[in-house]
Amino acid sequence: MDDFIKKYGPWAVITGATSGTGYQFAHLLAEKGIHLVLVARDKRTLLQTKEMIRNQYQVQVETIATDLSTPDSISEIEKVTRPLEVGLLINNAGYSITGEFHCEDWENQSKLLETILKTPMALTHFFVNEMVKRGRGGIILVSSAVAYTSVPLWSVYSAGKAALLNFGETISQELKKYNVDVLTVCPGAMNTKFQERSGISTPGLMEPEKVAILTLSSLGVKTTLLPGMTNSIIFQGLVRFLPKCIRLPLIENVMKKFQRQSK
């Protein structure tokens, strides 16, 4: 049996699995022989993805059509996966709301926070307990490059992603002694449906397949990953050293520019 399957198999759960990095994770893991539980909102797209992967890789695939912004989604996922030996959880689902915080409906902002922070934490808590008992497993948390800085017009999104990065780094240390690996990946802008839903048009997009490949190869090697040299220079270099009085107005102007370009 392949070492990857021994450590992170035989089943993996992927949220946001029908597009972008989630879709790429599904193909890469199926190619390795990992059975999949695919989670997304659109039932029709889920079933299409399921059939495609089953036919191409001959692995077992389960699907869960649910809205991760609702608390009921946790119990739905738990019900389907309880009989399975899940060795890898990929918390990938996400979107953002672009605009000034006070202008946006709080219910929508609350659903966003549920999707990108509370649900990943809840799913991690559920699956990691069994991983600890088995003495093996992996958790991948998909945060964002904006976790490294405050982003005006993305107030809730950037705050949630920063909290997710902090959470991932914390539990990576806690779980190390149980042989459970935690990797928090912080991609910059990618060529995915996320950009369209966020109302942001961004040049120089990374391809999700490349991000997914880098992520899986870094699991068990690193605890955080910021893919792309340009992203590293911007978010771990320039952004960190610019004073807030310069950085925040600069980022706000950039966000406004991208938002106008998408309209």
Q: pLDDT digit string (tens) for 90-100? A: 999 999 999 99
**Amino acid at site 66:** T
pLDDT tens for each residue of 79-138: 999 999 999 999 999 999 999 999 999 999 999 999 999 999 999 999 999 999 999 999
> Which among 132, 136, 175, 140 has a CA at the least distance from the CA of 29?
140
Q: DSSP states of 2-28 as a string?
A: -HHHHHH-SEEEEESTTSHHHHHHHHH
**Alpha carbons 262 and 228: distance in angstroms, whole number:** 24
Closest by CA to 5, choosing from 63, 84, 87, is 87
| pLDDT tens, residue order, the chain (263 aa) | 589 999 999 999 999 999 999 999 999 999 999 999 999 999 999 999 999 999 999 999 999 999 999 989 999 999 999 999 999 999 999 999 999 999 999 999 999 999 999 999 999 999 999 999 999 999 999 999 999 888 999 999 999 999 999 999 999 999 999 999 999 999 987 665 554 544 455 555 778 999 999 999 999 999 999 986 666 666 666 667 788 888 888 888 888 877 655 54
Whether residue 187 has a cis bond before it, omega within 30° of 0: no
**Domains of the chain as residue ranges with CATH:** 3-261 (3.40.50.720)
Distances (CA, A) of 138 to 66, 134, 173: 23, 12, 13
